[in-house]
Amino acid sequence: MSGTGRGDLVRLRCGDLPYAVHLVLPATLHEAARALLEPYVRVETVTADQARWWQVRTTTPMDDGLDEHQLTTVRGTGEPPMRLWSHPGRRELVVDDGLPGPLVVQYLVRYVRVLLRVGHSRGEELFLHGGMVSGDDQGVVILGGKGAGKTSSIVACLTAGLDFVANDDVSLVGTEDGWAGRGWPRAVSVRQETLAALDIDLDSQVLSHPAHRVAIRDAGAEAILHPSELTGLTNRRPPRARALVRALVFPVFAASPSEKVRLVPLETAAALRGLTENTVPVLLRNERFLAPCFPPEPSTAALCSRVADEIPAYLLVQRFSALRESADMIRGLLSDPATTIPSRSIG
């Protein structure tokens, strides 16, 4: 059924002040949105008079309060067009509720994430194209562009007993205990050949992502999974929200099938180059219409330099036929007593 209808509305506060985002949506969609946001975003039911930074809501039937809003139409991969209205003065983003409920939830959660990322970027948080796995609340951040083997490494680590934090969207922030890596609510795209190489059972699983609601075996070259679906496939605990960072790993596939799988320590300059190449803007392609609503994004050069100075970094040379061996090496970084949680300079 298209359209969510007005019905009873629920107001959720997502994240923490000063950058908390209110999410206003029909009660029928409330549990689905909460399930996608948690554990990465703190969610609680609030009233309209409680403090917020921005607000994300759905349209309602015969809504006539959008005359002063700016209309934008965006389209995610494999998704129908979605109309969005923004109003920087009211600090409000409105999502069209004319599509089926699961798609509306997907867009609501997506733009809550976008707004929270904008807020957190103002507080010296470094956003990276990478993922993270953890064990006992200590993690390894795995960085790399498309084709580097990042997702293959992460899924292999789950089969080796580590916990999932993030795949494509991780941020680093300095704390008194060291650098912490934080995951964000985002679906995971996994190649079928990766799942097959790791002997992951595909037969009993049906994907719940609204753009990809099919059995995994029928999903084509890539399957889009929610983090909880990925951890279920690999028999791991539910996703973890964050962990202290012990190491950075930059995977590459070996040039030859006979090349040895290995971890190579990186000098600070090489680590800095890798970090800089994998730093991502807070506002991506379908989000740039929001750029006029905010000050320019802060420079990340100083943050990258500090992270490169303070967190050990490694090049992981891996082979697709030996993903479990790569995972064991990453797990070894967490179990090696010589690898301690890096301290974080206050600067």
pLDDT digits (tens, 9 = 90+) for 139-164: 999 999 888 889 999 999 999 999 99
Q: At what angle do helices 101-121 and 27-37 cross, to 10 degrees?
A: 50
Q: Is residue 209 part of a domain?
A: yes
Nearest one of 260, 254, 272 to 313, comparing CA atoms: 272
pLDDT at 186 exceeding the cut of 80: yes
Per-residue pLDDT averaged across 31-38, rounded? 96
Q: Give 299's strand partners.
A: none
276 and 210 assigned to the same domain? yes
CATH code of residue 144: 3.40.50
In a domain, 341, yes or no: no
Mean pLDDT of all residues belonging to the chain: 88
**Do 215 and 294 fall into the same domain?**
yes
pLDDT in tens, 80-113: 889 999 999 999 999 998 888 888 999 999 999 9
Is residue 148 within 8 Å of 326, Cβ to Cβ?
no
**310: pLDDT strictly greater than 80:** yes
Identify the domain boundary among 121, 150, 183: 121
My answer on whether 286 and 298 are in the same domain is: yes
Residue 347 has pLDDT above 70, yes or no: no
Asked if 39 and 143 sit in the same domain, the reply is no
The total of structural domains in the chain comes to 2
Would the CA dihedral through 120, 123, 126, 130 be positive or negative?
negative
In terms of domains, do 316 and 174 share one? yes
- Please give the residue range of the domain that contains residue 104: 9-121
Instruction: For residue 289, give the DSSP letter.
Output: G
Residue 347 lies in a domain: no
